[in-house]
Amino acid sequence: MGTVPSALKHCLSYQHLLKEQPWIGELVPPPQPGQESQTSGLPEYIKIVEVGPRDGLQNEKVIVPTDIKIELINRLSKTGLSAIEVTSFVSSKWVPQMADHKEVMRGIERHPGVRYPVLTPNLQGFHSAIAAGATEISVFGAASESFSKMNINCSIEESIEKFEEVVKSARNMNIPVSKRLYSMGCYEISLGDTIGVGTPGSMKRMLEAVMKEIPLSALAVHCHDTYGQALANILTAIQMGVAVVDSSVAGLGGCPYAKGATGNVATEDVIYMLNGLGINTGVNLYRVMEAGSFICTALNKKTNSKVAQASFNSGTIN
Amino acid sequence: MAAARRLLPRWAGSLRPVRGGGGPGSGNWDGDRGQGPRTGRGTGTGTGTGDRDGNRPRPAPLTPARLCPQISAAAAGALPPRVKVVEVGPRDGLQNEQSIVPTPVKIGLIDMLSGTGLQVIEATSFVSPRWVPQMADHTEVMQGINKLPGVSYPVLTPNLKGFQAAVAAGAKEVSIFGAASELFTKKNINCSIEESLERFSEVMSAARAASIPVRGYVSCVLGCPYEGKISAAKVAEVSKKMYSMGCYEISLGDTIGIGTPGSMREMLTAVMKEVPVGALAVHCHDTYGQALANILVALQMGVSVVDASVAGLGGCPYAKGASGNVATEDLVYMLNGLGIHTGVDLQKLMDTGTFICNALNRRTNSKVSQASCRL
């Protein structure tokens, strides 16, 4: 804005910003008594579900070596995240990126207090996941028949029947089932804007309808940033009381339906917003940025996180 | 729940009561989350804004506004039915692009923008070419563009000399800018905030004499690259001064994009005690990806004028490689989804973005354009 002589242009690294303006990376301090609360009406705590290693990498073109995946997950385990979606027990024919699901599952460090759910599209995948040491699983349906048909070659009803088998087996083994299909016994339903077309208007309408059927505490939002709307949509959701948000470190994972477009919202950008709202996530933003920098270097790509871009010269830590 | 009276801009019609929102329907949710009842309503009063023919608005009887204290309560439906989008691409956008854009391309850009339905397009800046080489062709641009009736083409005028040159070149509206940060002002134009406003008072007097409306910008409203945190009270103080000097509208700029919905709300709450909401605009940078969320909060608080830049032109001069202005396409996409009228044709806007990105040989910063395969 205004006139900026070129002599003024210089780079501010995140370290510089943190040194001079420590409030940037930190949680905003809780309001003093008598002060207006920034967050009255908003959840005090929001759980971030990190989907980068699964949803993110699944949508990256480059096949990532197993040891890099394990290192990424180990780094994410140290950020304060309480849920990290690790891999997908799906046929490697369909999703080559996830072919090393067993090795990843067995290779990662399991930090106390951190959950490591895996995707299991069918009973076979489920058994394989359990054998590899999984203690939490996810199943997924779609709200669109065509999508279900194109994606997994069956109707929504048929897909749910398949998942019922999975869910039954899991419950028999006393394993908490993550996400989707609440009435079947899923403890949490993550509502995904798969192509990122939603806006705060449609998010509000959708949530109002869902909240009539499912308790707020069982809901999560999984917003894609394909049209740049993710943070505004997430804000709308948390204003309505949703307290679980899915995101992907460095915004990993493009959109398979719009070539060149972005997909998942970046965990860094979500945490930055939540910090600014004074909402507790338990997650250290700087450590997430470091993990993001690590995986972007490994993938030889620029981060999709604007916070990371603004904080480092080229999205990688100096 | 008390009804909220909220100021609407002049072009949207006369004041009408707007029901303040409560939270969404409650249910017997899990009490462990500790969510209290989300009722809430706000009241606000204000008076009309200035208009474009230069009439100074009546001094507002500034009734203290008890605004909705809860971001969540504001969410439930208290959005403006119309939003005026102020397109700053040709000036703020291009000014922060590395390559110098030829004059015919600038003119082509502005003419295409004129065809999209935008009501306000900031055309250029009458500043010394020594400081801002990109804007050296300000007179040619001003004289070369096709000025559509009903569309305003404000230009930046940092001083009286610039103002006179602007008027001579045919400008019918000008902008001046202050900042909420002393250090930023010192480094930018080598004087204090107070001194900068004194300089602008010359421009204000001349503008008044010539019946030319003046828009005021306040920079660094949510943070400064030099000072760090900026107090909301300071922003309110500078905004009030510029409004009292005669600016018909105050555009509040998050110059380094560092703000979040939390700081946006805090800042607007303070400013709205001094300046009527109908005279306020937000100018959000997307450097940290927060722009649309910040704009949403501003809309929820009654702001109905939003600045944006086609294709998200203009990087951030303070964070190398980072983005700057929010993309007009992404803003219009969100407003369309909210059912808010802008009068802007998104397809034509995307076409314009494609045009200028080709000319600049760069990728668009607009995600909507990227998703629509207009890389």
Answer yes or no: do B72 and A229 touch at CB < 8 A: no
CA distance to partner chain B, nearest, from residue A31 (Å) = 12
Alpha-carbon gap: A68 to the closest alpha carbon of chain B (Å): 27
Instruction: Supply the mean pLDDT for chain B.
Output: 82
Helices then strands, each counted (H, E), chain A? 12, 8
Chain B residues lying within 8 Å of A271, measured CB to CB: none
Mutate to test the interface with B, among A1, A229, A313 (most CBs of B within 10 A): A1
Is the predicted pLDDT of residue A32 greater than 70, yes or no?
Answer: no
Alpha carbon dihedral B122, B125, B126, B127, in 10-degree steps, equals 160
Q: Which residues on A lie below 8 Å from B40 (Cβ)?
A: 41
Cβ contact (<8 Å) for A227 and B92? no
Q: How does strand A244-247 pair with strand A219-223? A: parallel
pLDDT of residue A172: 62
What CA–CA distance (Å, rounded) separates A123 from A169?
8
pLDDT exceeds 70 at position B128? yes
Nearest CA of chain A to the CA of B107: how many Å? 21
Cα–Cα distance for residue pair A124/A147, rounded to 1 Å: 22
Q: What is the DSSP letter of B341?
A: B
User: In terms of pLDDT, which residue wins out, B226 or A24?
Assistant: B226
Strands (E), chain A: 47-50, 83-84, 118-119, 137-138, 177-178, 189-193, 219-223, 244-247
- Say if the Cβ atoms of B371 and A261 lie within 8 Å: yes
Q: Is the pLDDT of residue A135 over 50?
A: yes
Could you tell me the pLDDT band of residue A93, with boundaries at 50, 70 and 90? confident
Count of CB pairs separated by less than 8 Å, A with B: 233
Question: Whole-prediction pTM value?
Answer: 0.81
Report the share of chain B in percent with pLDDT over 70: 78
Which chain A residue is nearest to residue B36, measuring alpha carbons? Answer: A41
Spell B58-86 as b/e; 16+ CB within 10 A means b.
Answer: eebebeebebbbbbbbbbbebbbeebbbb
Residue contact A4–B27, C-beta within 8 A: no
Distance CA A217, CA A211 (A): 10
| B293 contacts in chain A (CB < 8 Å) | 231-232, 234-235, 273
A306/B287 CB distance under 8 A:
yes
CB contact under 8 A, A38 and B35: no
Contact state of A37 with B69 under an 8 Å Cβ cutoff: yes
How far is the C-alpha of A243 from the C-alpha of A114, rounded, in Å? Answer: 17
- B367 interaction partners in chain A (CB closer than 8 Å): 225-228, 261-262
In angstroms, the separation between the Cα of residue A142 and the nearest Cα of chain B is: 21
Mean pLDDT of chain A, nearest integer = 80
Nearest to B372 by CA among B284, B294, B311: B311
Query: Do residue B259 and residue A276 have CB atoms under 8 angstroms apart?
Result: yes
Beta-carbon separation of B289 and A307 below 8 A: yes
Our CA dihedral for A159, A161, A162, A167, rounded to 10 degrees, sits at 120
Which pair of tokens denotes residue A299?
């993938």
Using CB atoms, pick whichever of A36, A204, A273 lies closest to residue B293. Answer: A273
CA distance A104 to chain B (A): 32
Interchain pair A231, B289: CB under 8 A: yes
3-state secondary structure of A70: helix
pLDDT in tens, B311-337: 999 877 776 667 789 999 999 999 999
CA pair distance B240, B249, nearest whole angstrom:
11
Q: What is the ipTM of this complex?
A: 0.81
Q: CA neighbours within 13 Å on the CB side: how many for A15? A: 5
Q: Which helix or strand (DSSP H or E) is residue A19 part of?
A: helix A14-20
**Using a CB-CB distance cutoff of 8 angstroms, which residues of chain B are in contact with residue A314?**
321
Q: Which residue from B125, B266, B292 is facing A232, i.e. has the nearest CB?
A: B292
pLDDT digits (tens, 9 = 90+) for B170-228: 999 999 999 999 999 998 888 999 999 999 999 999 999 999 999 999 999 999 989 99
Least Cα separation, residue A101 to chain B (angstroms) = 31
The tens digit of pLDDT for each residue in A273-309 reads 999 999 999 999 999 999 999 999 999 999 999 999 9
**Which residues, 6 or more positions from B135, have their beta carbon under 8 angstroms from its beta carbon?**
B91, B94, B95, B124, B125, B126, B127, B129
Are A221 and A245 in contact, with CB atoms under 8 Å apart?
A: yes
pLDDT at residue A181 in the model:
61
Distance (Å, whole) CA A200 – CA B72: 13
Compute the distance between CA of residue B351 and CA of residue B231 in angstroms, rounded to an integer.
Answer: 40
Q: Given A21, A217, A273, which is nearest B33 (Cβ)?
A: A217
B188–A215 CB contact, under 8 Å: no
Which chain B residue lies closest to A215 (C-alpha atoms)? B29
Question: Nearest CA of chain B to the CA of A109: how many Å?
Answer: 30
CB contact under 8 A, B320 and A11: yes
Buried b (16+ CB within 10 A) or exposed e, A226-248: bbbbbbbbbbbbbbbbbbbbbbb
Catalytic residue among A154, A186, A223, A255: A255
Considering only residues B70 and A201, tell me which one the structure prediction assigns the higher pLDDT: A201
Res A226: pLDDT? 92
Stretch B28-50: mean pLDDT? 30
Chain B residues within 8 A of A232 when measuring between CB atoms: 292-293, 295-296, 334
Hey, of B32, B224, B272, B296, which one would you mutate to test binding to chain A, going by the most A CBs within 10 A of its CB? B296
Q: Is A11 a catalytic residue?
A: no
| pLDDT tens per residue across span A202-216 | 999 988 888 888 889
Residue to test with chain A: of B290, B330, B332, B341, most A Cβ within 10 A: B290
